Amino acid sequence: MNLKSPREQEYIQQLSIDCVIFGYEDEQLKVLIPKLDFTGDFWALPAGFIQQEEDIDEAARRILAERTGLADIYLEQFRVFGTAKRSNKTFMERLVALNPTKLDDWGLDLNTLGWLTRRFVSIGYYALVDIHKVNLQKGNIDASIQWYPIRELPSLIMDHEEMIHIALDTLRLNLDQKLIAYNLLPETFTIKEVQELYEAIYERPFARNNFQKKILDQQVLERLEKKFTGAANKAPYVYRWKRY
Amino acid sequence: MNLKSPREQEYIQQLSIDCVIFGYEDEQLKVLIPKLDFTGDFWALPAGFIQQEEDIDEAARRILAERTGLADIYLEQFRVFGTAKRSNKTFMERLVALNPTKLDDWGLDLNTLGWLTRRFVSIGYYALVDIHKVNLQKGNIDASIQWYPIRELPSLIMDHEEMIHIALDTLRLNLDQKLIAYNLLPETFTIKEVQELYEAIYERPFARNNFQKKILDQQVLERLEKKFTGAANKAPYVYRWKRY
């Protein structure tokens, strides 16, 4: 949410985008979460609005690029959140009460920001990124931005925790059908690393032989030639995803 | 779309709902499509807007109930359609040009309806109904309303044909995972009828023995006792979906 440039007329009213950005590191599935630069410990998903001249997918890419530095990200809508009572109002009132001078300092007040406290329908997107390619960038109202393991999330504003859980459910449903897991991995990897990724996402172990057979049967992996090192070569095969 | 009561301030602006209503009849998957009461052959998906005090799912249920008479329908979001150029403008200009007096008769003009010609983001819902329970009802701007087999659709306005195709793709992906097919069937049915339904949805044959095994293995069907008729009983078993 870009509180510092709230030019109401630029945006579609009462419609926002929230992004659940997944990464994979240290055998853990993680989510990228900024902490807002206000007193009161406000963590919020990367979010934003849709400009009048902008496709919704473009808006999501812009919001993702702002925090990750990545222009080309795998992303997908996963749910629209639209109950009648869904609004920023409670959160923003608490924020203003705890930060009485902050908006003044920016030349803003709750009247100027009134459109932000109306009911909002929000389109949830999830994104999968290679965590090592991300160039973490604070948004202009962030105090910090950090990767959190899926089981160690901070307390988030509004319905943002629910959003993460529904995004994860959707990721699990889509993972085999859509062969999208490679977006979370580096260029090359071993089968063991793919298995560890799946185990992190589904939070359960897979039997090694079955898993290897299942993945290889999908014929989506390309096995790379082992480099001749002169030594006895017991290193596992390295793969990459086939390009289509 | 309810052109006859366009009370702009009641609704979230630039956000609509379009519904793809699937039914099953004569071994064919069908879609419910109204034809608008204007010169020019305009077919459009059942659609509407979201009232300020209404959940988006409630709005979808209201739109579905208007045309089907059914209050309790299986429905699911499947995609948000939100390219920057997406608008009713071209369609409405053509409609007005071909029906110069119609809006006058209703005391309306394109200025009053200006908010309808802006860019619209639309949330696509698909619904599954037991076609025999539907009480077809024309909306207040419909000339007629009819079930069309999925391969014999009329020419639809805007991106509504694309919406149907994406709804169908989603239905195919979800069918096994979510065990939702029963929403398209009457209370009781034979395994052969379930197979015919799947064949209509996927537009391909299934091998009978495999299909029967696959469906029964899911343990979602309850077999009813055959009624004793005195005659030699060669009728197939009749099933219904287990209630949870």
Do B119 and A14 make contact, defined as CB atoms within 8 angstroms?
no
Give the minimum alpha-carbon distance from A76 to chain B in angstroms, rounded to a whole number: 10
Residues in chain B closer than 8 A to A84 (CB atoms): 52-55, 58
Q: Which pLDDT does position B119 carry in this prediction?
A: 95
Asked whether residue B234 is domain-assigned, the answer is yes
Nearest to A84 among B13, B55, B82 (CB): B55
Residue in A with minimal Cα distance to B120: A12
| Angle ∠(B160,B26,B203) on CA atoms, nearest 5 | 60
Asked whether residue B214 is domain-assigned, the answer is yes
CATH number at residue A174: 3.90.79.10
Does A166 lie in the same domain as A55? yes
Q: What single-letter amino acid sits at A73?
A: I
Does B197 lie in the same domain as B162? no
**Chain A positions touching chain B (beta carbons under 8 Å):** 12-15, 50, 52-58, 77, 79-80, 82-84, 119, 121, 123, 173, 177
CATH number at residue A225: 1.10.10.10
Distance of CA B197 to CAs A183, B25, B174, B182, Å?
36, 9, 14, 10
Nearest to B52 among A52, A54, A119 (CB): A119
Does B206 lie in the same domain as B174? no
Distance CA A11, CA A47 (A): 13
**Chain B positions touching chain A (beta carbons under 8 Å):** 12-15, 50, 52-58, 77, 79-80, 82-84, 119, 121, 123, 173, 177
Q: Which pLDDT does position B6 carry in this prediction?
A: 56
Question: Encoding tokens for residue A56?
Answer: 């919704």
CA A17, distance to chain mean position in Å, is: 12
Asked whether residue A1 is domain-assigned, the answer is no
Does A126 lie in the same domain as A86? yes
Give the minimum alpha-carbon distance from A27 to chain B in angstroms, rounded to a whole number: 27
- Residue A35, beta-bridge partner list: A43, A144
Mutate to test the interface with B, among A121, A175, A177 (most CBs of B within 10 A): A121
For A60-94, what is each residue's pLDDT tens digit?
999 999 999 999 899 999 999 999 999 999 998 89
Does B212 lie in the same domain as B170? no
Closest to A117 in 3D by CA, of A85, A163, A76, A83: A85
Does A194 lie in the same domain as A158? no
Q: Do the beta carbons of residue B23 and residue B30 sit within 8 Å? A: yes
Give the minimum alpha-carbon distance from B79 to chain A in angstroms, rounded to a whole number: 7
Asked whether residue B1 is domain-assigned, the answer is no
Task: Report the run of H or E that residue B200 belongs to, with start and end.
Answer: helix B191-202
Ranges of residues in chain A whose predicted pLDDT is under 70: 1-6, 227-233, 244
Does A61 lie in the same domain as A142? yes
Q: Do the beta carbons of residue B45 and residue B20 sit within 8 Å? A: yes
What are the helix (H) ranges across B48-150?
Answer: 56-68, 89-98, 102-105
Residue in B with minimal Cα distance to A83: B55
Does A200 lie in the same domain as A147? no
Residues in chain B closer than 8 A to A173 (CB atoms): 177
Q: Which pLDDT does position A127 carry in this prediction?
A: 96
Ranges of residues in chain B whose predicted pLDDT is under 70: 1-6, 227-233, 244
Domain end point (choices A144, A178, A212): A178
Does B202 lie in the same domain as B84? no
Mutate to test the interface with A, among B77, B121, B122 (most CBs of A within 10 A): B121
Asked whether residue A2 is domain-assigned, the answer is no
Does B78 lie in the same domain as B152? yes
Residue B200 is part of which domain span?
185-241
Asked whether residue B30 is domain-assigned, the answer is yes
For B186-207, what is each residue's pLDDT tens digit?
989 999 999 999 999 999 999 9
Question: Interface pTM (ipTM) of the complex?
Answer: 0.89
For A203-212, what is each residue's pLDDT tens digit?
999 999 999 9
Do A121 and B80 make contact, defined as CB atoms within 8 angstroms?
no
Task: Report the run of H or E that residue B33 belongs to, with start and end.
Answer: strand B28-36
CA end-to-end span of chain A, whole Å?
36
Mutate to test the interface with A, among B63, B80, B180 (most CBs of A within 10 A): B80
Does B174 lie in the same domain as B217? no
Q: Which pLDDT does position B230 carry in this prediction?
A: 61
Q: Do the beta carbons of residue A20 and residue A124 sit within 8 Å? A: yes
Give the minimum alpha-carbon distance from B49 to chain A in angstroms, rounded to a whole number: 13
Does A215 lie in the same domain as A121? no
Q: Which pLDDT does position A155 carry in this prediction?
A: 96
Rounding to the nearest 10 degrees, give the CA dihedral for residues A197, A202, A203, A204. Answer: -90
Domain end point (choices B183, B198, B217): B183
Asked whether residue A172 is domain-assigned, the answer is yes
Q: Which pLDDT does position A104 carry in this prediction?
A: 82
Q: Would the CA dihedral through B97, B103, B109, B110 be positive or negative?
A: negative
Q: Which pLDDT does position A218 carry in this prediction?
A: 84
Do A82 and B53 make contact, defined as CB atoms within 8 angstroms?
no
Residues in chain B closer than 8 A to A122 (CB atoms): none
Q: Which pLDDT does position B140 carry in this prediction?
A: 86
Q: What single-letter amino acid sits at B232?
A: A
Residues in chain B closer than 8 A to A15 (CB atoms): 12, 14-15, 121
Burial class (CB in 10 A: 0-12, 13-18, 19+), B73: buried
Q: Provide φ and ψ at B39, rounded to 5°.
A: -60, 135
Domain end point (choices B183, B208, B224): B183
Residue in B with minimal Cα distance to A118: B52
Question: Domain tally for chain A?
Answer: 2
Asked whether residue B33 is domain-assigned, the answer is yes
Q: Do the beta carbons of residue B221 and residue B241 sit within 8 Å? A: yes
Q: Which pLDDT does position A177 carry in this prediction?
A: 74
Question: Encoding tokens for residue B117?
Answer: 């010609």
